[in-house]
Amino acid sequence: MCKGSVNFSRNAARISWRPKTAASPESGRSAHVFEGRLYLQTGKAKNVYRQMKANPKVELCGMAGDQWIRVEATAVEDDRVAARQSMLDAYPSLQAMYRADDGNTAVFYLKDASAAINSQSGAPEVFKF
């Protein structure tokens, strides 16, 4: 859950930049805010799922214009159908490949996350959530 005075809605929009971020529907990995947490989705048959289960320390990077963001966190799997369905509702294109109850869809939320937004023209903006 968000800590401190971070404007999570504003910063979550920055975290889920497209299309250059590693978490995007085009890459098979997606980012989504559910119950105040930033979630990622993948399939249990994919290497990235096995990698996150073996080592849950993750880093997401993205770029938009002259700014880039780096998010470091611990990925925690949420096995609730409601969490998986929320992701699929937010990204209808995923529904062609996944269902909330298919035994393959996996969602992870980011715990103890910190993010830094950097640019060529200013000091980094760092926040935790």
Q: How confident is the model at residue 30 (pLDDT cuts 50, 70, 90)?
A: low
For CA atoms 90, 95, 101, 104, give the dihedral sign. negative
pLDDT tens per residue across span 53-77? 999 999 988 888 888 889 999 999 9
> Which segment of 44-53, 59-68, 72-81, 99-108 scores lowest on mean pLDDT?
59-68
Annotated domain spans of the chain = 8-128
Amino acid identity, position 109:
Y
Residue 48 confidence (pLDDT): 93
The domain 8-128 having CATH identifier 2.30.110.10: the answer here is yes
Q: CA end-to-end span of the chain, whole Å?
A: 6
pLDDT at residue 126, rounded to an integer = 92
Q: Model-level pTM? A: 0.74
